[in-house]
Structure 1
């Protein structure tokens, strides 16, 4: 009898387990056509990590595993691993702790160091590595040092644990720029990723960095790369930016930003920009204009935290796919990256569905990255409010949603997940690269997981150990080495300043197009210096069968003004007129040069003081305003949808009395403009000083085809004083009524 009772109880338990599994796997219902039925009235209530996991929908075969959660971590925004596999988590512990952003600028945020000591994939050891930070926004593991940049600062520090207690006790300034960033924290730079070319890239600013003699040194780009929160690269060093302010999920990925910005309007379409939440998403700063009739977000608005998957623990067809986080939609897009004769286009991997989507209203994916175990990692800030205080003010559509659903109560938590696939086990080999001699690192340059390749290259370059150059040369020229192994060996030699012309020219003749393209890219520096031997070798590639190689060749010749270099470009443009990428990129570059020359001629007629004002304004506009208004002031329309902000070129109000523009920059603008409704509000920039505001407006009024008077700081001060205490955006109707 007892045995029978035990059997019944066991069967009941098994049934409950099966039922529970079904609940976790069947969180979405579908209609007769197979379309997901949206949950229209989701609860905003907090869910435990285990409960939240059951609300997250993934395609068949995929599931999430919890890696870390509160109380171990709080408000996570970015993660990185050192070369020994220890995870570092940047926490923004003061981010929007209420709807007003009270106390946001207190320096009490942290970087935590987490470890998985038993190899089960879950973090079980945690220590505060760095304390008392101001909203850390960029984090990079160098060697046994961690580089960190904080909000409002342009300085970068390295932190090191010298006594083995897990806490940083050494802090050194590795890049100094004492200028304070005064932009809204959503509009400041992010990234700090070590790319294949040994350059360290960030968003927004027209600079990249490189490591030399214990310091970071800046290289200035002739044009800013754009982007906002999030930056990633693929196996071949192609960078992908995104811009939430411009509602642009991906941009500036056709060419490296060192050659200038360039996008095709059709590099993806409206169908790609549309997103597919599985619950209603009323808390959008764009309001009803950004919602479907079923109250779901209709397109990307908070696109952020993107990554290209370069690991080994997901199916082979995921390699090279681009993942884009959308925290307002509680989803993550998986995009197929398609190369057609060198031109890159993006397509949703699913039909009107997303790779990851949750019914938990507090699921806020803000970052993603490939880990050392070959899995895709997701950083979930897990909170109610995901927009900064400029967009949550009283009286706004968003604030009404926050107050009704009490989103401001869900704070101080956070989760990190990894995506796993049935039948593929994550790599349990714990990295110990920091403990290896440099010669032992070389084989990892050909590892199948991009994380290992990147860290091996980075460590060799940082150590500047040239004893491995013969081994690197042998790897680069060995046809038996994998394509990616040869590519990393070439770049590692370049990083060690030990790549000789003979090796480079052999690589230019490699049978693999990606290796040839890499060699052409590496030749940039030699071409700029006018190395005729290299230019002559590159000339042999102007009829290369690969459109990718030819395009890189045109880019490499771009900044060499010699007849031989420019002749190569002109030859290819005439010989391959259907190479749309090559032809259009070169035309875009030349048009911008012409516009720049014209602006310089106009500026020459101004006083030296006014020229400085315009230069400052141009820098601010190109780093901040161009994200939504376009670098040429004609708006942003990548993907063919509506513009996120009105154009500025040739606009009457731009060229007229500057008071309207001053008011807008000081206090922001919301509502329709010239009868057209835009999804986003123009944020207030009044926290900046009068010189800042005057410089931006002066540049706008003297470029992009506009021609109006310079605005002085005194003009800004007058308007500021007249409207002291104003705490809401202007509308066009108000401006027309109050501005004479």
Structure 2
């Protein structure tokens, strides 16, 4: 096909103007007591963009504007802007096109490039930038290159349009990993965000990445961060993950996962876990246990696509708030983030209400982001089914609801909105940063909109342009410039490998605690390598008045082999016995070290083949199973009393009959376990080979406080063959009866 024909002729000016309406005027219906009146009989029918906008409710003063819709985009899942403000949208065109997910892995998906050529906030040009892909899931713009990762693959490619026709004609592998990902597509990594520390982070796996000499390289994290679909960072580089499988809306935000992972049970409470839809929620995989008497979803179950708002075109009180999508509930949560002596807690910004809620059954918000115009953007996959085929099998609670409502018929659409505030005009400046000099980019490090700051830092680091080092040092040391500009200057120097000791020692004494904290973090590579001058200087900061600074001090010194560094950490713990974050982090880290030492000792008793099996199982468990069962096998219980799945640590169910475990992993498990009903089912892992199943079972039987013989691939093969006609999950009752 001629590339010019790939341009999609979507002249949407008048239609988009029609769709742009201030829906905050459309008040939520309430009863005499002021309680929201829920729509208990919503229609599953397709609504036009205009009709759907009118079904979406926001707080007073806020409204939505339509940025793009079908036929310009279809099945959108992720979005990023390049330095010139062009919006790239990953489309999973094969995702759940029927209730069985038929043809999901066909290579017919795309990445579109959209443009707003006149700065009115509405996309008026669209082209298929990349075609013939398998469910693209991670995208990141570099300079004029776009990084992309596809489902089932661990490779990362860069794509570039070299002749200006809008279509990528250059494809280069920038990260190579031949391992095939066999996990369910909901359990594979997402993210690939360029954080302020110049590291690229993803969910699930215990790796982070960085850019060097045109290639992407990886380095191992101490712990896997968890999370599933969605990853975001705040103005200071704090990361926020979401864990839909464990029904936990936010995790791993107390510290960077490079230092290990821990969460507080009370980092948010049961009230935060409760969600407040304005529509009946029949299609929840947790079944009736996840519904209130009024038929609405009672708890986060599909949290995803979160972002911290960092723009300048909404009220100042929105900056730093965490927005979390809940597509099953057709809503978006706005969370206030509070720092108390270094401990981060979350609270709903509204009382038993949500920031955004819709009565349109096909409204499926799955991603959010701060745009170049300073507004909050929302990506709506707009479809009927939002759960992958593993949870929609015949006989399941979900399948019945899908067929009743004909949700499988609503496919192939998608919308992008931006949140606008009455009286505040979005920035109409069309970015042209790809053509800017590095000197011009330095000025944008102090921009009021985080998108501009991030983009300027990233471009300077990618270019490796050290001619701006003097300007960056001057900016970092200038106490009269905005705090965030100075922080970005420090990290840009770090990315250029030009952050010298002279600069570090000066800013370690800065009056601003965030500057001091950033400096300690940015100097970490030098500290870990044993720079005695810096370690000595850090040792003088143990009495810093900021709990955040003291905590970062302990984290930065954690992996230093210097005896002096370890003595500083011990001194911090003695001086701060009541600092919950510092004490808990160090206790969790030490406990992890002890557990790893014990695992290594136990592994030495195994044969080489069995040792390899257990090791492979440990990797799978930490990336997949820990989401629901907990990294330590003790279950996940954050923000409430109930766990989403049974504990596996020191469990007779794990060390007992291995055939039951094989059956569960091959076909799944639903229903009560030992008298307790959990809100989700154990999905089938039977699409994986016998070695995969055997390795996972062998790991949980030889770690997590358990000790039992390993399971061999041949054992799995035998059980698989004996139950080859099985096409539904087991119940505990069935498993028990089968052995009598």
> TM bucket by the smaller chain?
over 0.9
Instruction: Provide, for residues 171-196 of structure 1, a one-character-per-residue CA deviation record: whole Å limited to 9, x for no partner.
Output: 00000001000000000000000000
Structure 2: gaps of 5 or more residues: 1-19
1:16 maps to what in 2? Answer: none
User: What residue in structure 1 maps to residue 391 of structure 2?
Assistant: 391
Structure 2 equivalent of residue 715 of structure 1: 715
CA separation in 1, counterparts of 2:373 and 2:622?
Answer: 39
CA deviation string 1:159-211 (max 9, x = no partner)? 00000000000000000001000000000000000000000000000000000
CA contact (8 A) 1:650 1:705 kept: yes
SS of the residue aligned with 2:456? Answer: helix
Contact 2:23 2:58 in 1 (8 A): no
CA distance in 2, matches of 1:594, 1:733: 37
What's the CA shift for 1:656? Answer: 1.1
Separation in structure 2 between the aligned mates of residue 569 and residue 409 of structure 1, nearest angstrom:
59
Query: What is the rounded CA distance, in whole Å, between the counterparts of 1:27 and 1:105 in structure 2?
Result: 42
CA contact (8 A) 1:24 1:54 kept: no
Cα distance change of structure 1 residues 457 and 203 upon mapping to structure 2, 3 Å threshold: same
Distance in 1 between residues matched to 2:656 and 2:361, nearest whole Å: 45
Q: Say if 1:244 and 1:301, in contact at 8 Å, map to a contact too.
A: yes
CA contact (8 A) 2:24 2:60 kept: no
* Contact in 1 for aligned 2:487/2:518 (Cα 8 Å): yes
Task: Give the C-alpha shift of residue 614 in structure 1.
Answer: 1.2
- C-alpha distance in 2, partners of 1:22/1:613? 58
Stretch deviating more after TM superposition (416-425 or 672-681): 672-681
* 3-state SS of paired residue (2:93): coil
What is the aligned partner in structure 2 of residue 100 from structure 1?
Answer: 100
How far residue 563 of structure 1 moved from its aligned partner, in angstroms, is: 2.3
Q: Which residue of 1 aligns with 2:505?
A: 505
Question: SS at 1:534's partner residue?
Answer: helix
CA contact (8 A) 1:447 1:453 kept: yes
Q: Is the 8 A contact 2:24 2:63 kept in 1?
A: no
State TM-score, norm by structure 2.
0.97
Matches within 5 A, 1:151-162: 151-162=151-162
How many Å apart are 1:604 and its aligned residue? 1.3
CA positional deviation for 1:684: 0.5
After superposition, the CA RMSD in angstroms is: 1.2
Partner of 1:449: 449
2:56 alignment partner in structure 1: 56
Q: Pick which of 349-358 and 606-615 moved more.
A: 606-615
Instruction: Give the superposition deviation at 1:48.
Output: 0.1
**Deviation string for 1:576-599 (max 9, x for gaps)?**
111110011101110111111111
Structure 2 distance, partners of 1:132, 1:63, is 36
User: What is the alpha-carbon distance in structure 1 between the residues aligned to residue 678 and residue 506 of structure 2?
Assistant: 54
**SS class of match (2:471):** helix
2:649 and 2:706 in contact (8 A); partners too: yes
Instruction: Report how far residue 26 of structure 1 moved.
Output: 2.8
Aligned to 1:655: 655
Query: Secondary structure of the equivalent of 1:611?
Result: helix
Find the counterpart in structure 2 of residue 218 from structure 1.
218
Give the Cα–Cα distance (whole angstroms) in 2 for the partners of residues 353 and 341 of structure 1. 29
Could you tell me which runs of 5 or more consecutive residues in structure 1 were left unpaired when the two chains were aligned: 1-19
* Alpha carbons 1:199, 1:210 under 8 Å: kept: yes
Q: Distance in 1 between matches of 2:692 and 2:52?
A: 45
Q: What is the rounded CA distance, in whole Å, between the counterparts of 2:197 and 2:372 in structure 1?
A: 21
Q: Residue 96 of structure 2 contacts residue 389 of structure 2 at CA under 8 Å; is this kept in 1?
A: yes
Assess if the C-alpha contact under 8 Å between 2:21 and 2:63 holds in 1.
no
CA contact (8 A) 2:86 2:115 kept: yes
Matched, 1:43 2:37: no
Q: Which moved more, 1:673-682 or 1:162-171?
A: 673-682
Q: Is the 8 A contact 1:175 1:217 kept in 2?
A: yes
Whole-angstrom distance in 1 between the partners of 2:590 and 2:21: 59
Q: Distance in 1 between matches of 2:739 and 2:64?
A: 55
Deviation of 1:526 (Å): 1.3
CA displacement at 1:561 relative to structure 2 = 3.3
In 2, are the aligned partners of 1:27 and 1:56 still within 8 Å (CA)?
no
Deviates more, 1:37-46 or 1:374-383: 37-46
Residue 24 of structure 1: how far off its partner (Å): 6.9
Q: Following TM superposition, by how much is the alpha carbon of 1:27 offset from its aligned partner in structure 2, in angstroms?
A: 4.7
Contact 1:73 1:415 in 2 (8 A): yes
Question: How far apart are residue 22 of structure 1 and its match?
Answer: 9.6
- State the partner residue of 2:3: none
User: Residue 629 of structure 1 aligns with which residue?
Assistant: 629
Matched, 1:302 2:306: no
Structure 2 CA distance for aligned equivalents of residues 167 and 632 of structure 1: 47
**Cα deviation digits, residues 613-636 of structure 1 (max 9, x gap):** 111111100010001000111100
2:575 maps to 575
Name the structure 2 match of 1:186: 186
CA distance in 2 between counterparts of 1:24 and 1:279 reads: 17
CA distance, structure 1, for counterparts of residue 396 and residue 503 of structure 2: 61
Alpha-carbon separation, structure 1, partners of 2:520 and 2:538: 7
Equivalent position of 2:166 in the other structure: 166
Q: 1:725 deviation in Å?
A: 2.5
Report the number of matched residues: 722
Task: Please state how far the C-alpha of 1:117 moved relative to its aligned partner.
Answer: 1.0
SS of the aligned residue for 1:387 comes to: coil
The answer to whether the Cα contact below 8 Å between 2:24 and 2:58 also exists between their aligned partners in 1 is: no
Measure, in 2, the Cα distance between the counterparts of 1:717 and 1:150: 30
1:309-388 correspondence to structure 2 within 5 Å: 309-388=309-388
**Partner deviation per Cα, 1:118-162 (whole Å, 9 max, x = no partner):** 211100000000000000000000110000000000000000000
List per-residue Cα deviations over 1:233-263 (Å, max 9, x = no partner). Answer: 0000000000100000000000001001110
Alignment of 1:590-609 (within 5 A): 590-609=590-609
CA distance in structure 2 between the aligned counterparts of 1:93 and 1:585, rounded to whole angstroms? 42
How many angstroms apart in 2 are the aligned matches of 1:255 and 1:652?
A: 34
- Aligned residue number for residue 135 of structure 1: 135
List per-residue Cα deviations over 1:456-507 (Å, max 9, x = no partner). Answer: 0000000011111011011000111111011000000110011111101111
Question: Is this contact kept in 1: 2:673–2:732, CA < 8 A?
Answer: yes
Q: Secondary structure at the match of 1:30?
A: coil
| Deviation of the 1:62 alpha carbon | 0.1
CA distance in 2, matches of 1:85, 1:341: 38
